[in-house]
C-alpha cells in the first residue's frame, strides 16, 4: 500500500486538462486541411490526382475537400507544387451532417449541440454501445483509450456499455461490411428510443479506402441514421472527445 501511494505521488495528476484548457497535441498531428486563398493557380489538379480516395475535387475552380473521405495521409500536401494545401493542427473536425464535411478550402461548420429533449436527456449522461463494423481496429483503439485515466471519458458522464438495451446510442467504426450490416441494424433496433448514432473515422463515414468495394456498405448511414460524424483515419482521441462534447454542449465558451 505504501509503495502504491508513493508511486501515485510520483506520477502526479495524469488526466489531460482539456477541455478546461487547450489540448496538448503531438507535433506530427495532421488536423484540418486548409487551402491558402489565391495560392492555388487555376487549372492545377496535382492534389486531386494525388488523393488515393477522391477526397479532393475542383469542380468550380475552387478546391473542395471532403473530410468524410479524407485519410489524412498527407499525399495531397506533398504533391502541391505551390504549398497552397497544408494540414493544420486543428483537431476540431466533427460535424452533425454529412454535407457539413464537404468543405471549400477545408473550412466548414463545427458540430452543433443537440437540442431540446435530446439534450436534456443525454447532456449529462450518455451511454454508448460500440460497434466495430469491419474496422482495422485503429479507430477502435483511439476510442478505447478515451476510457483510460489520461482522458477519463466518464468524468463527462459518457460511458461504454456492453448491451444496446442499456445504451442511449451507438458509436460505429469500420466501413460496415456485408457481414456486419445486419448485425449493425439489429443492434440499432435494440436501442431504446430516443437514440443516437455516432460514426467515427473515414470508414464509418464514407467507406474510407474500402469505398466502392462489393463487400462494403460505404459507411454507417447506409444502414442506420447518423447524428454525429467524426472524421479521421483514425481520429485523434482529442478529436473524438471534442466531437462528443460539442454534441452534448459541454465545452467552455472559449473552446467553441
Q: Which of these, 226, 198, 229, 204, lies nearest to 95 by C-alpha position?
A: 229
Are 106 and 32 in contact by the 8 Å Cβ rule? The answer is: yes
pLDDT at 11 (0 to 100): 66
| Confidence band for 255, pLDDT divided at 50, 70 and 90 | low
Give the number of other CB atoms < 10 A from CB of residue 177. Answer: 18
pLDDT at 88 (0 to 100): 96
| Whole-angstrom distance, CA of residue 219 vs CA of residue 202 | 8
Rounded to 5°, angle at Cα 252 from 242 and 28:
40
- CATH code that applies to domain 116-255: 3.40.50.12280
Query: Tell me: the pLDDT tens digits for 142-188?
Result: 999 999 999 999 999 999 999 999 999 999 999 999 999 999 999 99
Distance of CA 39 to the CA centre of its chain: 29
> What pTM was estimated for this model as a whole?
0.93
| Whole-angstrom distance, CA of residue 80 vs CA of residue 90 | 20
User: CB-hemisphere CA count at 13 Å for 191?
Assistant: 24
Distance of CA 197 to the CA centre of its chain: 12
pLDDT at 195 (0 to 100): 96
Rounded to 5°, angle at Cα 238 from 235 and 242:
100
Query: Tell me: the pLDDT tens digits for 107-119?
Result: 889 999 999 999 9
Upstream peptide bond of 19 is cis (omega within 30 degrees of 0): yes
Distance of CA 71 to the CA centre of its chain: 12
Three-class DSSP category at 256 = coil
Amino acid at each position: 500500500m505504501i509503495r502504491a501511494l508513493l508511486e501515485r505521488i510520483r506520477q502526479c495528476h495524469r488526466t489531460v486538462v482539456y477541455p478546461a484548457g487547450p489540448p496538448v497535441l503531438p507535433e506530427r498531428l495532421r488536423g484540418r486541411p486548409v487551402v491558402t486563398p489565391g495560392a492555388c493557380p487555376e487549372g492545377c489538379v496535382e492534389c486531386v490526382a494525388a488523393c488515393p480516395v477522391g477526397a479532393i475535387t475542383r469542380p468550380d475552380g475552387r478546391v473542395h475537400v471532403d473530410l468524410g473521405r479524407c485519410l489524412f495521409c498527407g499525399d495531397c500536401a506533398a504533391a502541391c507544387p505551390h504549398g497552397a494545401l497544408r494540414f493544420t493542427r486543428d483537431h476540431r473536425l466533427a460535424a452533425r451532417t454529412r454535407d457539413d464535411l464537404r468543405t471549400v478550402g477545408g473550412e466548414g461548420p463545427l458540430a452543433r449541440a443537440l437540442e431540446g429533449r435530446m439534450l436534456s436527456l443525454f447532456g449529462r449522461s450518455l451511454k454508448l454501445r460500440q460497434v466495430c463494423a469491419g474496422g482495422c481496429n485503429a479507430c477502435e483503439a483511439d476510442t478505447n483509450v478515451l476510457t483510460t485515466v489520461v482522458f477519463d471519458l466518464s468524468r463527462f458522464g459518457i460511458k461504454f456499455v456492453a448491451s444496446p438495451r442499456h445504451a442511449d446510442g451507438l458509436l460505429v467504426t469500420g466501413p460496415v461490411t456485408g457481414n456486419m450490416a445486419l448485425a449493425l441494424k439489429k443492434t440499432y433496433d435494440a436501442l431504446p428510443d430516443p437514440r443516437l448514432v455516432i460514426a467515427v473515422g473515414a470508414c464509418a463515414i464514407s467507406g474510407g479506402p474500402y469505398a466502392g468495394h462489393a463487400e462494403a456498405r460505404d459507411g454507417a448511414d447506409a444502414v442506420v441514421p447518423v447524428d454525429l460524424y467524426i472524421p479521421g483515419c483514425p481520429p485523434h482521441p482529442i478529436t473524438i472527445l471534442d466531437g462528443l462534447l460539442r454534441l452534448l454542449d459541454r465545452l467552455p465558451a472559449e473552446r467553441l
